[in-house]
């Protein structure tokens, strides 16, 4: 009898769960939105959750399906979480710029109470994000990038020394690891004022914890997905998303750096100096609102705490070294797969450097137009941030339809899909820097190129990222010729478990001193 009761109980629970899923999977249908059929329980992300395909590639396939049907958007699901995948450029522009106030936040979990590192500029929402963005923006002007330029060039000296070791031993170069060590050294110096020495020693703590930030373990990937699907659950149970070891490391580094600078009255014109100034500066924001007295809402806090400073330093470190090293990896791969482009780029580099006494200068980099085209084309073909997301923060009616997005609805844009759409980029799998000549760019909508996002939440460090990539390429191509090593898997495949678009198996190159 008890077995029968247990069986009835189990069947009842399963039936209830199925009913909940089926009802939830009608969310977009109830709004008259075309839906790509989901399956219980994983929705439309079966291969992503089972680590067979990356999230970016899954979205790319769904983007193509919607485009093939001539649809501007479509409904999809991650477990029970409904998502709207947008394919129309005009609607993307509406979300990112024209109606930004309706979509001002990223779909990124943040709980500063239990996860201090999550309280960073990328994850913050609402008025606090706006206020902090205003304060941090001056760090990344062209003038400030010029001040950081010498640090980048200095790091290329160790980069060349490391490559010389590989060349002398006739060893293949793991270009992703090498570039990650280079960018980590730059970020460590610019953010913390610390010589990380990753190019000289691959086992430094900065490199160790840098790897831990992005490692694609089952637990980490599962938590990231769950934080999107059930953010309320994470908040209710105060579940941290970031690694506690990483958190302790960065809090200690920031505290030690601040204490040392204050004790010895050290004044470095870098990112940490600005963050230290924000310890005592009032951070506030005013804007039109519903306040009956003065029609203004005001956000205000008396400076940044140690944890808040650490969160900003952390996100700049993480984003600054990983995405740039990824872009460099893909660019070096394309240059060995297209030796004529490598030679053309080298000729431009040597010609321009010849005008500047053979030295890598800021002005020299700015003169290299073909280098800029190569940089843009690599971000087009292999965008490290291959998808973008927004939360609907205020009810929004999609123009030309009766579809109303509610507060809390999630929106995704497939950057990879747009960048590989043959309507915008004919023969999209071909690496062709001339797509970014002024003439060709003038023929395209600017929103066909979104490697850094767009609008008020465009990547704050895009100039910095571009410069450190270009400096590395100039240092490499002016001194070495590169070819593909047979350890590299071809054709190239993307790693299904990495958050940032990455190469499965890595990229291995041969180098020859010029």
> What CATH number is attached to the domain comprising 400?
1.10.630.10
Average pLDDT over the chain reads 91
**Dihedral sign from CA coordinates of 49, 54, 58, 63:** positive
Q: Where do the H-state alpha helices sit in 188-230?
A: 205-214, 218-229
Residue 131: inside a domain, yes or no? Answer: yes
Among 104, 111, 109, smallest CA distance to 133 is for 104
Residue 68: inside a domain, yes or no? Answer: yes
Q: 195-232: b or e for each residue (b if 16 or more CB lie within 10 Å)?
A: ebbbbeeeebebbebbeebbebeeebbebbbbbbbbbe
Which pLDDT score is estimated for 288?
54
pLDDT top residue among 421 and 283: 421
Contact 234, 109 (CB under 8 A): yes
The region of weakest confidence among 49-58, 81-90, 288-297, 420-429 is 288-297
* Residue 29 exposed, middle or buried by CB count within 10 Å (0-12, 13-18, 19+): exposed
Which pLDDT score is estimated for 271?
84
- Whether omega for the bond prior to residue 232 falls within 30 degrees of 0, making it cis, is no
**Dihedral sign from CA coordinates of 352, 356, 358, 362:** negative
| Span 109-148, pLDDT tens digits | 889 999 999 999 999 999 999 999 988 888 788 888 888 8
Residue 121: inside a domain, yes or no? Answer: yes
- As for how many domains the chain has, the answer is 1
Q: Is the pLDDT reported for residue 294 higher than 80?
A: no
Binding-site positions for heme: 459
pLDDT top residue among 322 and 368: 368
Span 410-424, mean pLDDT?
Answer: 98
Q: Is the pLDDT reported for residue 489 higher than 70?
A: yes
Please, which residues bridge with residue 451 across strands? 453
Q: Is the pLDDT reported for residue 289 higher than 70?
A: no
Residue 101: inside a domain, yes or no? Answer: yes
Residues 6+ apart with CB under 8 A from 184: 196, 198, 206, 207, 210, 321
Which pLDDT score is estimated for 219?
79
C-alpha–C-alpha distance, residues 242 and 95, integer Å: 28
* pLDDT level of residue 295 (50, 70, 90 thresholds): low
Q: Is the pLDDT reported for residue 291 higher than 50?
A: no
Residue 5: inside a domain, yes or no? Answer: no
Binding-site positions: 459
Q: Is the pLDDT reported for residue 290 higher than 80?
A: no
Residue 15: inside a domain, yes or no? Answer: no
Q: Which residue range(s) make up the domain with 406?
A: 22-513
Q: 357-375: b or e for each residue (b if 16 or more CB lie within 10 Å)?
A: eeebbbebbebbebbbbbb
Contact 500, 385 (CB under 8 A): yes
Residue 345: inside a domain, yes or no? Answer: yes
Residue 13: inside a domain, yes or no? Answer: no
Q: Which of 9-13, 108-112, 209-213, 476-480 has the highest mean pLDDT?
A: 476-480
**% the chain with pLDDT above 70:** 97
């Amino acid at each position: 009898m008890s077995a029968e009761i247990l069986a009835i109980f189990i069947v009842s629970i399963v039936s209830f769960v199925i009913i909940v899923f089926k009802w939830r999977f009608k969310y977009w249908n109830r709004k008259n939105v075309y839906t790509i059929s989901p399956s219980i329980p994983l929705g439309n992300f079966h291969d992503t959750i089972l680590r067979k395909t990356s999230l970016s590639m899954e979205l790319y396939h769904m983007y193509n399906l919607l485009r093939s049907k001539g649809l501007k958007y479509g409904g999809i699901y991650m477990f029970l979480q409904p998502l709207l995948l947008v394919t129309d450029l005009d609607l993307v522009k509406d979300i990112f710029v024209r109606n930004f106030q309706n979509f001002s936040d990223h779909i990124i979990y943040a709980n500063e109470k239990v996860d201090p590192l999550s309280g960073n500029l990328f994850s913050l929402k609402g008025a606090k994000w706006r206020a902090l963005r205003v304060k941090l923006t001056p760090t990344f002007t062209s003038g400030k990038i010029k001040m950081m330029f010498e640090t980048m060039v200095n790091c290329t000296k160790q980069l060349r020394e490391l490559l010389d070791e590989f060349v002398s031993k006739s060893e293949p170069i793991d270009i992703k690891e090498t570039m990650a060590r280079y960018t980590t050294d730059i970020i460590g110096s610019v953010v913390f004022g610390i010589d990380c020495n990753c190019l000289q020693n691959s086992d430094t703590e900065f490199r160790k914890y840098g790897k831990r930030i992005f490692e694609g373990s089952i637990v980490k990937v599962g938590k990231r997905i769950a934080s999107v699907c059930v953010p309320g659950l994470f908040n209710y149970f105060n579940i941290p998303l970031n690694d506690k070891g990483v958190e302790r490391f960065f809090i200690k580094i920031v505290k030690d750096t601040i204490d040392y600078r204050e004790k010895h009255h050290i004044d470095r014109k870098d990112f940490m100096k600005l963050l230290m100034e924000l310890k005592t500066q009032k951070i506030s924001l005013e804007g039109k609102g519903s306040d009956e007295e003065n029609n203004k809402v005001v956000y205000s806090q008396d400076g940044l705490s140690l944890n808040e400073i650490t969160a900003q330093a952390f996100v700049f470190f993480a984003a600054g070294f990983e995405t740039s090293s990824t872009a460099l990896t893909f660019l070096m791969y394309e240059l060995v797969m297209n030796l004529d482009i490598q030679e053309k780029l080298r000729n431009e580099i040597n010609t321009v450097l010849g005008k500047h006494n053979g030295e890598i200068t800021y002005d020299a980099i700015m003169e290299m137009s073909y280098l800029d085209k190569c940089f843009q084309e690599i971000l087009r073909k292999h965008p490290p941030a291959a998808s973008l997301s927004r939360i609907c923060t205020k009810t929004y009616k999609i123009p030309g339809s009766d579809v109303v997005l509610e507060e809390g609805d999630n929106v995704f844009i497939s950057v990879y899909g747009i960048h590989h759409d043959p309507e915008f980029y004919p023969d999209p799998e071909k690496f062709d820097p001339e797509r970014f000549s002024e003439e060709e760019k003038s023929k395209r909508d600017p929103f066909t190129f979104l490697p850094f996002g767009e609008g008020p939440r465009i990547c704050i460090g895009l100039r910095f990222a571009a410069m450190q990539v270009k400096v590395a390429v100039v240092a490499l191509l002016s001194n070495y010729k590169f070819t593909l090593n047979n350890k590299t898997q071809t054709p190239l495949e993307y790693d299904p478990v990495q958050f940032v678009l990455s190469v499965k198996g890595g990229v291995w190159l041969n180098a020859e001193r010029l």
